[in-house]
């Protein structure tokens, strides 16, 4: 079981996204990004199980949360 980190442009959107996922029974954790994962400055990441990554991206985007990148961790 691997994990993926979804980069989100702001802390507010990351928090909102995490709450959406938790309400749907999907475990999610917020991480502050640094180094090669921080593409645009104040990016945050939501870490999810790799098996659910495509579902998570769909849920977030349908709820107005922009996912800018998806990386394996």
pLDDT tens track for 5-37: 999 988 999 999 999 999 999 999 999 887 655
- CB contact at 8 A, 24 and 52: no
Q: What is the pLDDT of residues 49-59, one digit of tens each?
A: 999 999 999 99
- CB contact at 8 A, 67 and 8: yes
Single pTM value for the model: 0.84
Altogether, the residues listed in the chain come to a count of 73
Of 72, 50, 38, 16, give the one whose Cα is nearest residue 30: 16
- What domains lie within the chain, and their CATH numbers? 3-72 (3.30.70.1530)
Give the mean pLDDT of 44-66.
Answer: 96
pLDDT for position 49: 96
For the beta sheet containing 29-32, the strands, ordered from the edge strand earlier in sequence to the opposite edge, are 29-32, 44-49, 3-8, 69-72
- CB contact at 8 A, 7 and 69: yes
């Amino acid at each position: 079981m691997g994990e993926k980190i979804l980069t989100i442009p702001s802390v507010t959107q990351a928090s909102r996204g995490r709450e959406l996922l938790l309400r749907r029974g999907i475990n999610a954790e917020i991480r502050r990004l640094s180094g090669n994962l921080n593409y645009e400055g104040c990016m945050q990441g939501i870490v999810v199980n790799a098996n659910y990554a495509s579902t998570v991206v769909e849920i977030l985007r349908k709820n107005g949360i922009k996912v800018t990148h998806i990386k394996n961790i």
